[in-house]
Structure 1
Amino acid sequence: MSYKSERPTFQERMDHFVNVIRTDILNDIRQEGTYLPSESTLAKQFQLSNKSIRKGLNQLVEEGLIVKIDRVGSMVTPHSREAITIHFGCPLSLTTDFMIDDLIAEFTRRNPGIHVRRITLNTLNYVRSAEEMIQNGLLDVVALNSPQFQEWHELGLTPLLEELASDNALYPITESAFHVDGKVYVRPVSFSPVVLCYNKQHFREAGIPEPDSYWSWDDLIGVTMRLADSRGRHGIYFLPASENRYSIFLLQGGKGRTEPKSGGTGRLNMLEGLDKLHELINNRHIFPNYWAQGNDETIRLFAEGQVSAILATYFNLNEFAHMDLEYDICPLPTLHLGDPQKTLMLTIGTALVRRSPAKEAAARFMEFLSSADAQLLIRRKTVSIPARKEAAEAADDPGELNRPSRYFMYREMFPSFAYHKEIGLQIQDLRTFSRFLKEYWSGMIDVCVLYNKLEEWVSPPQKGKTKKPITSQR
């Protein structure tokens, strides 16, 4: 099975061709006065016939982006000097999370006097990269997800963004991620809980019932042991030290102290979650000793059948949208049977830069991404969940995408959704603590150092004292 899927239909290949050329022209990658490759070259590149390429070029001619010169080729026309260009900073992942290039193309078609230049920001230090570009006047709109906005606010950067009016047509929980003192600074576009994604065929062949919402992590461990025995391969995988994965176990553990253990040492409830995480990932029969470089590798392991289950978001499921893969999703297990369900929620939105010189055009683009039309495009073309309720709950187009049968499960899960801020740690501290987890799992520090650091950091400081930043203890 090939991991990366191909665009399966003619219309999608055609749309992709037109969108790529249009975006390249508007972003000056193909500059005015230059010529596009020949029709036969474009046909080979985009897997279309010459006739289809000709049809797509005619559409670009109608939009005024190119002009056909007989016996010479297709030339990029000069841009209107009156056109407004807005600079949109975002991660590359938005091209699959909700087809941002297609949305930009549709916005441009509706607003020919506004050009959107998509700028890919550094994902390793996304917030600082976005701040630097805004401070230098290089961005008009910036994409932020919920943990990024939390970090943005913790760094005191909220004044760089324009306050927005609330939109009652969006799911309320999506806006709550971007509230500060009752004000909204980011307009939600799409959201997802972290769920358990599993291979239906593996469960069926092993004669094991599929997961349900009553499973505990112990249930999952037991079932994946049986799957590993049946298939001779590992049962489950995810990135243990990812702040969007290990944080789930802190979240499920909850905040507050338990009764002191023997010896009089108090421990945080959330440490029980870390204990279960440690038990899970150190079971080499079900969890491979594999340190992926990113979530793409986790998706690949699952798509190729190397593991039977992963922790995933709806955004991740877009990788399976055009694959012949029999999969489904269910809520995450709980620490104990009967515990209330709890999972991490990720919301992605766009923010308007307060000092943007093209604020009106930038605001129009930002509002378009959350509009009914754009949200329905997200619903039809991706597996992601639109932030607009009406669009999110629209009926599926049969056969269009390989969606999980439990796609609408999220509607019953809202009471279980929580953001990173509910853990009680700042994003920078979560990030630092993930380094401690890796040091612990590799044997560089012992469990006492690990637990003491977390307990010290989450515990309220004594009167007159302030907490010190987390530092390594060897």
Structure 2
Amino acid sequence: MSHKLERASFQERLDHFVNVIRTEIVNGIREEGTYLPAESALAKQFELSNKSIRKGLEQLVEEGLIVKIDRVGSMVTPRAKETITINFGCPISLTTDFMMDDLIAAFSKRNPGIHVRRISLNHISYSQSAEEMIANGLLDVVAFNSPQFQEWTEEGLTSLLEPQLSDERLYRIAEEAFVHDGALFAKPVSFSPVVLCYNKEHFARAGIDAPDSYWTWQDLIDAAAKLSESRGKPGIYFLPTSENRYSVFLLQGAGSYRGGDRPEGLLDGLSTLNSLIENRSIFPNYWAHGNDETIQLFVEGQVSIILCTYFNLNEFAHTTIDYDICPLPVLHRGDPQRTLLLSIGMSVVKQSRVKEAARRFVDFLSSEEAQGMIRDKTMSIPARKESASRSAGGALRLPSRYAMFRELQPSFAYHSDLGFQMKDLRKITKWLKEYWSNMIDENELSSKLMELSSDDRKSGQPAGMP
């Protein structure tokens, strides 16, 4: 626990350093053409190592705020007076999710008088980071995924964003993630359901039929056992403590329960999750730290099945692995399919001083040109219907079931459909960690979930699926 706290403290100090220097440059306190203090002086001032200071300076270079001159130092970047600069806050993951840097370059080519400065926001406290930067006038456009926007609305921050017009050329379900009180606050760029991804070669060698939409989780467990026996390696892995993974089981449990209290359905879903991850013959006896390590396990052939999104497929789009995707299993035979949907959208900051340029950038990202680039260069699903439906023009090798997302749309649900706030889901994450670490037992976990659901009902928040 102390190690995690030290890591958090380090990240906070590094973020503080970058934010201070960025604010001073953008607000003109550090003038163009002047030099920052030496790395050793900055390290002493911000209580960081020289290596950490260099890491922070590299981020400022990436944002176009400074340039590093060999044997001289770090100079505040001179900027052409006639150029409009859009400060764009987003997670670093967008560089792989849909080649954001390529999209920015294409926009700049079409709009030579506008410069887009991509600013990587802290993924751990994304909403807080975005709010603070907006308050300081440092953002003009901000990217949100659907759970981040849900948290944004729960914090009452939608007034910081400019309402946008709905676009019938975009998937309606992708827009729904960014609607609050009848107004649209972000234009969707891409979306993805959570799906099953499996190694076709492993299945063939084990003599197992490929998974299909008729599968239950028990069918998956049985298949994973045969794969483990055939290969001598675990059959399946995903990060069980991820709110984008265990929420799938909550959604399916709440949607399939046939009577009594809704929380009982949530427990039914968690019971299925427990029976899967506690089976050490098919599920590795350790937890990877994130999706990157989970993807690596799959690419290396260490596991045969993973839970992932279309965004994750970009991580092995250029490998030779023989894989495919299919819908998630259901809890019980005959249950309707249900899976979690993640959408990514772009918002214009209401108080932006370059609002028209910011609108133009957001509109470009949902345009036919940009959406076509996403289709041709990535595995991600474009939010524009026409772009998502056409054949890819690039050299990517798509899985044979790539287009199944079109038929799966009735099964899509967002985190908000659970009836819990994001802060509630973080409580559930903590309780699950305690439960899987034997710090609390099943009865305590059940009591906590029942109490949380009861609190939500008292506050007018529905528990479970609406």
TM range (shorter): 0.7 to 0.9
Q: What letter corresponds to residue 375 of structure 2 in structure 1?
A: R
**Residue in 1 that maps onto 2:163:** 163
Alignment of 1:249-398 (within 5 A): 249-254=249-254, 268-397=264-393
1:413 paired residue among 393, 404, 408: 408
C-alpha separation in 2, matches of 1:182 and 1:406: 35
**Residue in 1 that maps onto 2:116:** 116
DSSP 3-state at the match of 1:150: helix
C-alpha separation in 2, matches of 1:202 and 1:25: 41
Shift of residue 26 of structure 1? Answer: 7.8
Instruction: Confirm whether residue 428 of structure 1 aligns to residue 406 of structure 2.
Output: no
Number of corresponding residues:
397
> Which is helix-richer, 1 or 2?
2
Shift of residue 320 of structure 1? Answer: 1.2
C-alpha separation in 2, matches of 1:326 and 1:30: 43
Shift of residue 266 of structure 1? Answer: 8.9
**Residue in 2 that maps onto 1:457:** 452
Shift of residue 417 of structure 1? Answer: 0.4
C-alpha separation in 2, matches of 1:129 and 1:362: 19
Alpha carbons of structure 1 residues 440 and 82: separation in structure 2 relative to 1, 3 Å: same
C-alpha separation in 1, matches of 2:351 and 2:94: 24
Contact 1:256 / 1:268 at 8 angstroms: preserved in 2?
A: no
**Residue in 2 that maps onto 1:27:** 64
Give the TM-score normalised by the residue count of structure 2.
Answer: 0.82
Identity %: 61
Instruction: Confirm whether residue 181 of structure 1 aligns to residue 189 of structure 2.
Output: no
Q: What letter corresponds to residue 94 of structure 2 in structure 1?
A: L
Shift of residue 81 of structure 1? Answer: 1.1
DSSP 3-state at the match of 1:310: strand
Give the TM-score normalised by the residue count of structure 1.
Answer: 0.80
**Residue in 2 that maps onto 1:39:** none
**Residue in 1 that maps onto 2:247:** 247
DSSP 3-state at the match of 1:404: coil
**Residue in 2 that maps onto 1:107:** 107
Q: What letter corresponds to residue 231 of structure 2 in structure 1?
A: R
**Residue in 1 that maps onto 2:145:** 145
C-alpha separation in 2, matches of 1:257 and 1:207: 34
Alpha carbons of structure 1 residues 256 and 201: separation in structure 2 relative to 1, 3 Å: closer
Q: Deviations over 1:25-48 (max 9, x none)?
A: 9824447xx79xxxxxxxxxxxxx
Alpha carbons of structure 1 residues 127 and 309: separation in structure 2 relative to 1, 3 Å: same
C-alpha separation in 2, matches of 1:467 and 1:158: 21
DSSP 3-state at the match of 1:254: helix
Shift of residue 78 of structure 1? Answer: 6.4
C-alpha separation in 2, matches of 1:133 and 1:26: 14
C-alpha separation in 1, matches of 2:105 and 2:169: 24
**Residue in 1 that maps onto 2:27:** none
Q: Deviations over 1:70-103 (max 9, x none)?
A: xxxxxxx964311001100000000000000000
Q: What letter corresponds to residue 397 of structure 2 in structure 1?
A: N
C-alpha separation in 2, matches of 1:245 and 1:390: 29
Contact 2:256 / 2:335 at 8 angstroms: preserved in 1?
A: no
Contact 2:190 / 2:383 at 8 angstroms: preserved in 1?
A: yes
**Residue in 1 that maps onto 2:199:** 199
C-alpha separation in 1, matches of 2:223 and 2:233: 13
Gaps (5+ residues) in structure 2? 1-59, 71-76, 462-466
CA RMSD of aligned residues (A): 2.2
C-alpha separation in 2, matches of 1:197 and 1:275: 22
DSSP 3-state at the match of 1:361: helix
Shift of residue 291 of structure 1? Answer: 1.5
Contact 2:341 / 2:413 at 8 angstroms: preserved in 1?
A: yes
